Amino acid sequence: MADAVVIPGAWFGPGAPLLMYAGDVAEQRGATVHRHSWSQEIPKLDQPEIESWVGGEIAPLIDTIGGRPLLIGKSLGTNAAAIAAERSLPAVWLTPLLTLPWVADALSRATAPFLLVGGTGDAVWDGDIARRLTPHVLEVGGADHGMYVPGPLTESIAVLGRVVVAVEEFLDAISWPG
């Protein structure tokens, strides 16, 4: 049996659309999905200490699950990239904080495959860094940190569909679950 851990961003929980649907992709493949919610007030987001704070929240959950779960994280949750690197866990990182040096460094140490999803309208996304780190990248022109694009809301809903397809194709490419 496979497991997936959904790690939220700072402002919306694990049921936010990007995370919900990415977790649903894993669930449709037979995984048990563990949707994490932060247990305490989130400290300052742009300081290196945030990485150990996120690790302190996520590592015990992974230890309880055991095995090699798929990690699915958004924004703040991408600070768990250090755990993924240390434990060789596959991951899906939605709107990763690529401009934070410790997140980019953790991603560069990863030995398991990971997908990066971001938009060119997001200040914390860097497509050049993303493409250097992994061959698995979905970059959406004009998308902001919530993966919204300018124009009618239906355009942003279509982006959500593209994200789901990218997650499905990534999991196919890495034969997950094995």
DSSP string, 162-176: HHHHHHHHHHHHTTS
H helical segments located in the chain = 17-28, 49-65, 81-87, 101-108, 127-133, 153-173
Q: In this structure, are residues 103 and 96 in contact, taking their beta carbons and an 8 Å threshold?
A: yes
pTM, two decimals, is 0.96
- Structure tokens that stand for 134 in this block: 């992994």
What CATH code is carried by the domain that includes residue 22? 3.40.50.1820
What percent of the chain stands above pLDDT 70?
100
Provide the domain limits for residue 38: 3-173
How many domains does the structure of the chain reveal? 1
**Would 178 be classed as within a structural domain?**
no
**Would 105 be classed as within a structural domain?**
yes
Distance in angstroms (rounded) separating the CA atoms of residues 6 and 22 = 8
State pLDDT tens for residues 104-131: 999 999 999 999 999 999 999 999 999 9
